[in-house]
């Protein structure tokens, strides 16, 4: 049966650990030998595009990155037919889309793995890299606390699910109106953990091992920028907030960052920051996932 990857909990807990083990394997199976992988982007990307392309190369494959105007998902051609076309040539498809349902529709039309490279609902590839980075930092993650400060967006949702699946405590501090909806909370709870939801960044960070943030205005929300700057004004991660962490606590950010908004430059560049190992782990995590989805060992 073809396995797709829309959200982290499309994997079981054991499978997640398997993917992380594959990610650490310096000699992965060449599961894409002689095959292509189509990487379709409706939105810009630096990390996801480059990490996926290099993961495909490391697995013996050939990445083909496709811009939105080249295929016109649901404008030039239905998303299903785009997927069927790409599956004629490629061993796997990755898609970064606005509407999550587009990825599900593409996957339903083909029998090659379809990987979510970010949708309005989730960013599971990012969460895999985040968990890998935390494992490298702390080893066993059970009982560690992650404090996410900022918008309860796609990155936060996938991270919360990944934390639940690795027995970590997940806390989120967001202003009213920018918190998880009931559907997201139910999905996180279904993975066995109750997230702490608060409007106080200080409360969320107190005694945490990781503080994590993302931009306040995601791609597609640009018209809300002014309103969001006001709403999140008390949610900047600065040196004073960092003092609430455990003594070995770290700072993480999926990037790109907007220094001076969700975090200060000194925190981004400071000794507790792990943003560059985190970015590099995007490639290792992507490679581990592809080995798993394509049945490698």
Sites of contact with ligand CP (CB under 6 A): 45-48, 118, 126, 254-255
Active-site choice (47, 163, 254, 274): 254
Cβ nearer to ligand CP, comparing 42 with 184: 42
Catalytic residue check, 227: no
Which residues, listed in sequence order, are joined to residue 171 by a DSSP beta bridge? 147, 196
Cβ nearer to ligand CP, comparing 50 with 135: 50
Catalytic residue check, 254: yes
Angle between helices 13-23 and 275-293 (to 10 degrees): 110
Catalytic residue check, 282: yes
Nearest approach, Cβ of 47 to ligand CP (angstroms)? 4
Nearest approach, Cβ of 285 to ligand CP (angstroms)? 12
Cβ nearer to ligand CP, comparing 50 with 272: 50
Measure the CA–CA gap between 80 and 287, rounded to whole angstroms: 25
Active-site choice (47, 90, 96, 193): 96
Nearest approach, Cβ of 277 to ligand CP (angstroms)? 14
Cβ nearer to ligand CP, comparing 38 with 118: 118
Nearest approach, Cβ of 43 to ligand CP (angstroms)? 7
Long-range CB contacts (within 8 A, 24+) of 161-164: 161/7, 161/8, 161/9, 161/127, 161/187, 161/188, 161/191, 162/8, 162/16, 162/124, 162/127, 162/128, 162/130, 162/131, 163/131, 163/193, 164/188, 164/189, 164/191, 164/192, 164/193, 164/195
Look up residue 203 and give its two tokens: 């409360």
Catalytic residue check, 123: yes
- Residues marked as catalytic: 96, 123, 126, 214, 254, 282
């Amino acid at each position: 049966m073809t396995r797709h990857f829309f959200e982290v909990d499309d994997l079981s807990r054991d499978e997640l650990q398997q993917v992380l083990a594959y990610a650490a394997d310096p000699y992965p199976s060449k599961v894409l030998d002689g095959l292509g992988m189509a990487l379709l982007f409706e939105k810009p990307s630096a990390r996801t595009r480059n990490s996926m392309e290099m993961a495909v190369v490391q697995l013996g494959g050939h990445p083909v990155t496709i811009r939105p105007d080249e295929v016109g998902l649901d404008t030039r051609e239905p998303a299903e037919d785009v997927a069927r076309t790409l599956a004629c040539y490629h061993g796997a498809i990755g898609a970064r889309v606005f509407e999550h349902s587009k990825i599900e529709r593409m996957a339903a039309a083909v029998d090659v793995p379809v990987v979510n490279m970010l949708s309005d609902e989730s960013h599971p590839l990012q969460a895999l890299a985040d968990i890998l980075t935390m494992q490298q930092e702390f080893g066993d993650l059970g009982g560690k606390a992650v404090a996410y400060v900022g918008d309860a967006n796609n990155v936060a949702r996938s991270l919360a699910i990944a934390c639940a699946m690795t027995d970590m405590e997940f806390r989120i501090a967001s202003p009213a109106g920018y918190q998880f909806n009931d559907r997201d909370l139910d999905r996180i709870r279904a993975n066995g953990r109750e997230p702490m939801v608060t409007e106080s960044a200080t409360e969320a960070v107190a005694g945490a091992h990781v503080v994590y943030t993302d931009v306040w205005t995601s791609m597609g929300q640009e018209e809300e920028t002014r309103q969001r700057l006001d709403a999140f004004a008390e949610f900047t991660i600065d040196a004073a907030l960092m003092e609430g962490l455990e003594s070995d606590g770290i700072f993480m950010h999926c990037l790109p960052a907007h220094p001076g908004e969700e975090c200060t430059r000194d925190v981004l560049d400071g000794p507790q920051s792990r943003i560059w190992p985190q970015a590099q782990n995007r490639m290792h995590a992507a490679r581990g996932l592809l080995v798993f989805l394509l049945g490698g060992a």
